[in-house]
């Protein structure tokens, strides 16, 4: 499956987990099957617009919240590395994003002392 399906699936998983919902609870709220949620979260299935709408409504979020900071990764741009980093970070929970930021701050400090 494409990277974007995996990224969106990870985002759904993290948003669901942040709210303390099981796949079954989210599926019930969204009116879809639990196996559908599982396939979406693993990036095994591309979500339809209808599924995305149901899931965002069930999570109480906007489409913007779901897709915020998701950047398509393209090989022919100068920002490819940055886009890949943003995509990877956006799949993490807020707590894990903060942890990664702390690690990056430490790395930048080390690099600054080397020069």
Determine the Cα–Cα distance for residues 105 and 14; give it in Å rounded to an integer. Answer: 24
**HEC profile of the chain:** CCHHHHHHHHHHHHHHHHCCCCHHHHHHHHCCCHHHHHHHHCCCCCCCHHHHHHHHHHHCCCHHHHHCCCCCCCCCCCCHHHHHHHHHHHCCCHHHHHHHHHHHHHHHHHHHHHC
Average pLDDT for 100-109 = 90
**Residue 44: CA atoms inside 13 Å, Cβ hemisphere, count?**
7
Number of domains the chain is built from: 2
> Over 60: is that where the pLDDT of 76 sits?
no
Model confidence band, residue 71 (pLDDT cutoffs 50, 70, 90): low
pLDDT at 26: 97
What per-residue confidence (pLDDT) applies to 115?
63
Q: Are residues 7 and 60 in the same domain?
A: yes
Separation of alpha carbons 10 and 50, rounded Å: 18
Same domain? For 14 and 46 the reply is: yes
Are 7 and 38 found together in one domain? yes
Q: What mean pLDDT, rounded, does the chain reach?
A: 85
47 lies in the same domain as 91? no
The structure tokens 């993490």 sit at: 92
Please tell me whether residues 55 and 90 are part of one structural domain: no
Does residue 90 surpass a pLDDT of 60?
A: yes
Q: State the average pLDDT over residues 47-53.
A: 94
What confidence tier does 60 reach under pLDDT thresholds 50, 70, 90?
very high
Mark whether 20 and 41 lie in a shared domain: yes
72 part of a folded domain:
no
Residue ranges making up the domain that contains 95: 80-114
Q: What percent of the chain has pLDDT over 90?
A: 43
């Amino acid at each position: 499956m494409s990277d974007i399906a995996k990224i969106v699936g990870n985002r759904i998983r993290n948003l669901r987990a942040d709210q303390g919902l099981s796949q079954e609870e989210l599926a019930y709220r969204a009116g879809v099957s639990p196996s559908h949620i599982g396939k979406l979260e693993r990036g095994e299935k591309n979500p339809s617009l209808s599924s995305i709408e149901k899931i965002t409504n069930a999570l109480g979020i906007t489409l913007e919240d779901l897709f915020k900071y998701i950047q398509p990764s393209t090989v022919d741009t100068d920002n490819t590395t940055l886009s890949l980093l943003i995509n990877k970070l956006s799949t993490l929970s807020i707590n894990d994003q903060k942890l990664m930021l702390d690690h990056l701050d430490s790395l930048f400090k080390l690099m600054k002392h080397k020069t």
